[in-house]
Structure 1
Amino acid sequence: MMKKWWILGSVLILAIAGLAFVSFSKLKVVNAWEGDEKPIVLTNKVWKVQFSEKISEKSLNPSLVYVTNDKGEKQENTLTLSDDQKSIYINPPENGYDPRSELYTLHFKKGIESELGRNLLTSHSMQFIVKESLPVVGSQEKLAGYFEEILKEQKKARRWFEETATKDGAKSDTSAEADKSTSANDVSETNVQVQGVDEADIVKTDGKHIFQAEQNKVRIIKANAGGQMGLLATIAYKESFTPNQLFLEGDQLVVIGYQYHNFQRSYEEIAKDTKIAPMMQSTKVIIYNVKNPAKPAQIREIELEGSYVSSRKVEGVVYLISNHYPDFWLLEKNPEIDIRPKYSDSAVGGKEKKVSYDQIRYFPDSREPNYTMIAAFDLAKPEKEAAITTYLGCGNQIYMSKENLYLAVQNQTEQPMDERGIIAPDTDIHKFTINGTKVSHHSSTTVPGMVLNQFSMDEHNDYFRLVTTKGYAWDESKPSSNHLYILDKNLKLAGKIEGLARGERIYSARFMGDRIYMVTFKETDPLFVIEASDPRNPKVLGELKIPGFSNYLHPYDENHIIGFGQDTMIVADKGTNSGTRILTNGVKISLFDVSNMSNPKEKFTEIIGGRGTYSPLNYDHKALLFNKKKNLFAFPITVYQNSDKNEYEQIFEYQGAYIYNIDPATGFKLKSKITHINGQMPVYEEYDSSIQRLLYIGDTLYALSPSKITSYDLKTNVKLGELGLGGGINK
């Protein structure tokens, strides 16, 4: 009898195990599509259907995956498989979806098969609505509903993570040409990405004066003949305002900074009584007339709620972008609280205004808890009100040409809840056309992977190119890979290269016309050389693997490119885990010879210091001063040397700037060093003595730190002058 029960029990266990295996192993759609709500999308929407397993290529069949309009007519979609083969992309028709159709339906049938031979057991469909342009919020109720849905999703995510934690318990042509020595004034300019598109910086010069933003002040310095200098004026601000970016346009100085607002009453009390969330922090622009630099006269103020993202200046028009996260949690207790973003412009009275509901647009297939505000104002028309455009959702990566602005936004809305924060999100690209102060949304799309920075994007001959990393380099179970995508003027895919440098991530990129350079890294630094004269068929022509990595790539000429980054070394791991580790080992400069694109070479290298050595140029391209005709390559640097005691100890050696000559035939030559530290080097580096920027006027080089400005003869390196600036913070 016991034996009989034992046999029955064994059969039952096997049956349960079999059912569990079938349940867990069947092919599933894992997109986070829920409810009966019909999503609104734009005409060129690319749908991404994610599956639980790798999909066989034969499943890219228009009889299995397709879209129909409200008349049941099949659309001419093309299907592509993702790099990891777990997603099918349904690309829109050649001219996009026709918004006149009231409803579209996306179908994916049960005949879809995985590489392991498992079939999708149930057919799925999803209906969606197409709009030709970005929809507007339109009302307080709709805006509140938008954020209330985000609150629900955040609560759901918290519950999921709490439950999981409980269960787991114990476990180019657009490249900036930096050679400005042929200009009439022979004055250095900010090192920018796109020629003709200026970027704000902490230092600007007009060839006669130097303007410096430093902590809570802006200094105006006269550059006299012979390298002598004089402090003409200091614009001091209260502690609530911190200037950190400057533009210079003729006689106008544009100061951009962070403004913090203090209240006599608590934030919550004000919101409760007024039913308006007050402006706590903002990005403020103060414009001065500096025709008489000794007496700068304020002529205008513009203020956008939120933090500073970026800015550009094209032909006297400034484009300022801020990002504001509203306190939408206030809606839980009072759904009538007004959380619209606010702004002000002294050109029209300076009174604080709220963006009207019919001026707030949203990206229909995205749900981000923040606003992007773009203010465009013409410095030649100071009386004209700034044009404000506002969008729900934000991106911190900006690329801008003379005609278009591109905003890169991480997209996690279609990811399953259990993959958010674990699987790297894709990126939404939003294109805006620029016409004076008018900024208009043009088109949007989604690309796999994440964008590193502005140099990962480029526009060339009406094509938008970008490189992305999909996945995380440290995740060995799902190794990362790197991609190039080339999109046409409507952001439709034209060409691509996927699956480069698996297990690594992008550290830098540079687009130079038909040539594209990309550096990835994990243990070595592969430099990829890509030829893209045919946008629909880009090709990797060369690859070079060397120690270290480049954070920044700068064009020298058509056959040479300069890499600036860190040297590395591989050391044995002496811990419990056998293997190796990667240690940085000083700043590294490389001169790459790419005259033979199929055989790139690291022709010369220069390594400065040991571990701990760093330069602002590692993360801020505007710290570079480069001029090929003057044979000038200069940057601030802080140098440390390695200690013999242990690998974690570094010894401070030098703080200042290095000035190099570069010759493609002989390599790097250290021409001179500049420091603002008097006498012997101290034990630790000093903020007030840290050189932040270098610039030149004619044949005079200037170095600026918080405490002083010094000048040098570029030909002889002889010091010409010094002006103390005090340093510290004005009280």
Structure 2
Amino acid sequence: MTGSSVHVPRRAAATGISRVMTPARLTGLALVASLALVTGCTAEPVPAPPRDRKVPAGGFQLVAFDSCAEALQQLKTAAKAYVGPWGFGPSGDVRTFSGAEQAGAPAAAKRADAAPGANAAAPGDTAAGAAAPGYSGTNTHEAGVDEPDLVKTDGKRIVTVNRGKLYVIDPATRRLTGELKLAPGADGFGGAEASLLLQGDRALVLLREGWAGIAKPAVPEGGARRAPADGPMPDDIVGPRLIMVDLSGEPKIIGEYRIDGSLVDARQVGTTVRVVVRSAPRLTFPYRERATDDQRTAASREIIDNATADDWLPRYEITSGGRTSTGRVGCDRVSRPASYSGTSLVTVLSFDLGVATLGAGDPVTVIADGDTVYSNGPRLYVANDQRWRVLPALTARNAAPDPKDETTELYQFDTSGAGAPRYVAAASVPGWLINQYAMSEWDGHLRVATTRGRTWGNKPDSTSSVYVLRADGTTLTQVGKVTGLGKGERIHAVRFVGGTGYVVTFRQTDPLYTVDLRDPAAPKVSGELKINGYSAYLHPAGEGRLLGVGQEASDQGRVQGTQLSLFDVTDPAKPTRIAQYHVRQGHSEAEFDPHAFLYWPAERLVVVPLTVYGAVSSSGAVNDRSVVGKPGLPSNVALALRVGDGGFTEVGTVDHTLGTGRPEDLAPIRRSLVVDGVLWTVSDAGLKATSLSTLQTLGWLRTG
């Protein structure tokens, strides 16, 4: 175990904070997000920047600290250059990490891949995840790389987490075979959504407790530190909780791990899981009403001067076999880029689900920030952009961003071995990513799609690009680029399939660009298709076919409900849309979380969740008729379509009723998966087994 480690009894204090996502709390979350995403990019030593100063992006070669004393001194110097009268934050608008309402970071848009329990690959579908015949899983990005989600299957069992409990289902008998409360007295973990990974008889549950900011409560001027009634004690670890569950018999917890910060994301290859966490120094900046800005800034710097390494470096706590040990990331595990702000750290943890204990996670920490994770297995990338630092003020005055602020930093780690990841290289690309699908590694090259410029107001000047980079020693060197995509628009979806990239931009119409990336040094746009609306997620559907799910829109760009599109991309120079399925007033979780999208190649079946308001009808490639719904009432269903050579055929819908038969009591379906010819749909109310061919109900298991 790196760092200090002593055996201590588990505290009786609360280990989580109940958070209700009220508008005020959402506002607080946005403020904390703006702070948490401030990239480590202020060169040191430098004088304190004025409140309107923009912090430039810097160099990327990572260097380990020689000692804790050196690490602490340089962190303090960098942090003091960035702190303002109200603590850390853009233009000083966040007074204190702990003073704002805070919650766990969202699951970065979210995400998708494939390993045991991911989508089976169709012939020629190199981007879809491969799985054993007979079962799928929830949608993922890369073959052989699994991602955490609220339900998993290995074909023999289905495991899901819901409202603080884990459930195990036998898909063959359609029976609930196990149930486990994940924490005493916990009911939904105070609103923190759980996800899990599955390997053999082990499940790893990830709880998004905590945040990227500070665990300590705010201190009134002249007052003593105290614990709030509904929060943790000042020295408690507040952050994500990892729970290892043994599924070999009645499910039971065999280990827990907590660490300061917030969960960014995780990836699994075989038995090895990489967990990415971001954290910040645990400092409290008091609110001083009767003081000048200079006095407040001086007081904030004094607080930094008095901080210790324990205030900066993430602490962790491990429970196994009834014993709890604590420690923190050692200074020898921390590296720094050439310039940084000292306000945030990213830690990559490694765990082996093939053993019965979690261990210390073998942490590797970088003084930087990160909000998006992509992995193809041998390599893992953590991306970090600065939009939340620069956009709020720019949007308010309809101003264009400064080009030097529009950067995304990329950190590449070698994860080909089972041990701790090895930092390899880093780079900076202009613009911002939409999600992990904007990154893809192929043939030794990383492709990255970004948007830069102003996308709002009356004078949008945005443009999108695709950059091709190759690892060259400790840097990722740009070897090619395509620019000028979607002027005045922003990227809504990206998918890379082998040597081709598909980029969707949108403001009023939806250009689908095909990009030829076979020659990394000379990428080029092959073709363009302009249609109304946009796709928010793109999925390969076999040779020459591409599926899109997003929103239909009017000629003026006003969205008009969920649409599924089938594109023929056989000729990259002339992409065409073969068919469209439109649900008026519809919205789908698959539009922002690809895990909610299911494509089962064996049946050429597409299943997406839909929430629809009013009397709903479909139009486009199928005849007009009611899908589901009553005027004024939301309807929640899973829509199943079969993809033919010429378009869509509606198979039907599945709903989860709570037993009253009333439309308003339909629980929103969130995920779909296939096991041995049975379609399983998952909601907060339970799981339903449905015939894949007829959509007749075969069984219902309530878990809500």
The residue that corresponds to 1:108 in the other structure is none
* Amino acid aligned to 2:536: N
The residue that corresponds to 1:99 in the other structure is none
The CA deviation at 1:325 is 3.0
Asked if 1:518 is matched to 2:503, the reply is yes
Q: What is the distance in 2 between the residues matched to 1:396 and 1:265?
A: 23
The residue that corresponds to 2:648 in the other structure is 668
The one of 704, 715, 719 equivalent to 2:682 is 704
- Counterpart of 1:194 in 2: which secondary structure? coil
Q: Which moved more, 1:244-253 or 1:430-439?
A: 430-439
* Amino acid aligned to 1:179: A
The residue that corresponds to 2:106 in the other structure is none
The residue that corresponds to 1:635 in the other structure is 608
The residue that corresponds to 1:693 in the other structure is 671
- Counterpart of 1:147 in 2: which secondary structure? helix
Asked if structure 2 preserves the Cα contact closer than 8 Å seen for 1:279 and 1:305, the reply is no
**C-alpha offsets along residues 278-334 of structure 1, whole Å, 9 cap, x if unaligned?**
345211111011111xx1122221212111110000121010111223343446454
The one of 240, 247, 270 equivalent to 1:283 is 240
Q: Compute the TM-score of the two structures, normalised by the length of structure 2.
A: 0.73
- Counterpart of 2:437 in 1: which secondary structure? helix
Task: Please tell me whether Structure 1 or Structure 2 has the larger radius of gyration of its CA atoms.
Answer: 1
The CA deviation at 1:624 is 1.5
- Counterpart of 1:346 in 2: which secondary structure? strand
The residue that corresponds to 1:346 in the other structure is 319
The CA deviation at 1:585 is 0.6
Q: Which moved more, 1:399-408 or 1:675-684?
A: 675-684
Question: Which of structures 1 and 2 has the larger relative contact order (alpha carbons within 8 angstroms, sep 6+)?
Answer: 2
The residue that corresponds to 1:299 in the other structure is 254
* Amino acid aligned to 2:260: E
Change (3 A) 1:706 1:249: same
* Amino acid aligned to 1:336: N
The residue that corresponds to 1:451 in the other structure is 433
The one of 213, 233, 239 equivalent to 2:179 is 233
Change (3 A) 1:499 1:154: farther
Asked if structure 2 preserves the Cα contact closer than 8 Å seen for 1:507 and 1:521, the reply is yes
* Amino acid aligned to 1:307: S
Q: What is the distance in 1 between the residues matched to 2:385 and 2:210?
A: 28
The one of 119, 130, 144 equivalent to 1:178 is 119
- Counterpart of 1:558 in 2: which secondary structure? coil
The one of 172, 175, 181 equivalent to 1:224 is 172
Change (3 A) 1:36 1:586: closer
Q: What is the distance in 2 between the residues matched to 1:618 and 1:366?
A: 35
Change (3 A) 1:699 1:479: same
* Amino acid aligned to 1:286: I
The residue that corresponds to 2:208 in the other structure is 258
Asked if 1:600 is matched to 2:575, the reply is yes
Change (3 A) 1:317 1:264: closer
Q: Percent identity?
A: 24
* Amino acid aligned to 2:307: I
Q: Compute the TM-score of the two structures, normalised by the length of structure 1.
A: 0.71
Change (3 A) 1:481 1:439: same
Asked if structure 2 preserves the Cα contact closer than 8 Å seen for 1:137 and 1:361, the reply is no
- Counterpart of 1:387 in 2: which secondary structure? coil
The residue that corresponds to 1:609 in the other structure is 584
- Counterpart of 1:146 in 2: which secondary structure? helix
The CA deviation at 1:680 is 8.2
Change (3 A) 1:161 1:616: closer
- Counterpart of 1:142 in 2: which secondary structure? helix
The residue that corresponds to 1:677 in the other structure is 657
- Counterpart of 1:596 in 2: which secondary structure? coil
Change (3 A) 1:249 1:270: farther
Could you list the runs of 5+ residues in structure 2 that have no partner in the other structure? 1-40, 48-53, 95-111, 123-129, 228-232, 286-299, 617-629
The one of 536, 544, 554 equivalent to 1:559 is 544
Q: What is the distance in 2 between the residues matched to 1:673 and 1:185?
A: 25
Aligned Cα root-mean-square deviation (Å): 3.8
**C-alpha offsets along residues 495-538 of structure 1, whole Å, 9 cap, x if unaligned?**
00112111000000000000100000000000000111100001
- Counterpart of 1:143 in 2: which secondary structure? helix
Change (3 A) 1:673 1:361: same
Q: What is the distance in 2 between the residues matched to 1:143 and 1:632?
A: 53
Give the number of aligned pairs: 571
Asked if structure 2 preserves the Cα contact closer than 8 Å seen for 1:449 and 1:469, the reply is yes
The residue that corresponds to 1:720 in the other structure is 698
* Amino acid aligned to 2:530: K
The CA deviation at 1:708 is 2.5
Asked if structure 2 preserves the Cα contact closer than 8 Å seen for 1:218 and 1:243, the reply is no
Q: What is the distance in 2 between the residues matched to 1:198 and 1:524?
A: 34
The CA deviation at 1:592 is 0.5
* Amino acid aligned to 1:144: K
**C-alpha offsets along residues 99-127 of structure 1, whole Å, 9 cap, x if unaligned?**
xxxxxxxxxxxxxxxxxxxxxxxxxxxxx
The residue that corresponds to 2:349 in the other structure is 375
* Amino acid aligned to 2:119: A
Asked if 1:326 is matched to 2:281, the reply is yes
* Amino acid aligned to 1:583: R
The CA deviation at 1:406 is 1.0
Q: Which moved more, 1:343-352 or 1:300-309?
A: 343-352
Asked if 1:337 is matched to 2:307, the reply is yes
Q: What is the distance in 2 between the residues matched to 1:395 and 1:34?
A: 18
Could you list the runs of 5+ residues in structure 1 that have no partner in the other structure? 1-31, 39-49, 51-86, 90-127, 163-173, 571-580, 644-648
